[in-house]
C-alpha cells in the first residue's frame, strides 16, 4: 500500500536521530528525570547490542 501524498517516512533520518539524542541530553542536563532515564536505557541497550555482536564474532 502506497503512502498518501505528503506523508513522511515513519523511520527518522540519522540526522534527526542525532538531533533527538541531543535534545534528550539537554533535557537530562536540565533535570528531566524521564530524559535521564531514557538515556540510561539507551546506553544499556547499546551495551547489550555490542556484547551480542562480540559474542557472535567470537563464535563465528
Mean pLDDT by 10 residues, the chain (60 residues): 72 93 97 97 96 84
* DSSP H helices in the chain: 14-29, 33-59
Separation of alpha carbons 22 and 20, rounded Å: 5
Q: What is the pLDDT of residue 40?
A: 97
Q: What is the pLDDT of residue 58?
A: 84
Q: What is the pLDDT of residue 5?
A: 77
Supply the Cα-derived Rg of the chain in whole angstroms.
17
Beta-carbon contacts of 36 under 8 Å, excluding residues fewer than 6 positions away, are 28
Beta-carbon contacts of 19 under 8 Å, excluding residues fewer than 6 positions away, are none
Amino acid at each position: 500500500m502506497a503512502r498518501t501524498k505528503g506523508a513522511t517516512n515513519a523511520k527518522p533520518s540519522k540526522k534527526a536521530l542525532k538531533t533527538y539524542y541531543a535534545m534528550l541530553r539537554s533535557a537530562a542536563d536540565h533535570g528531566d528525570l524521564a530524559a535521564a532515564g531514557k538515556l540510561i536505557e539507551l546506553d544499556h541497550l547499546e551495551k547489550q547490542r555490542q556484547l551480542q555482536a562480540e559474542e557472535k564474532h567470537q563464535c563465528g
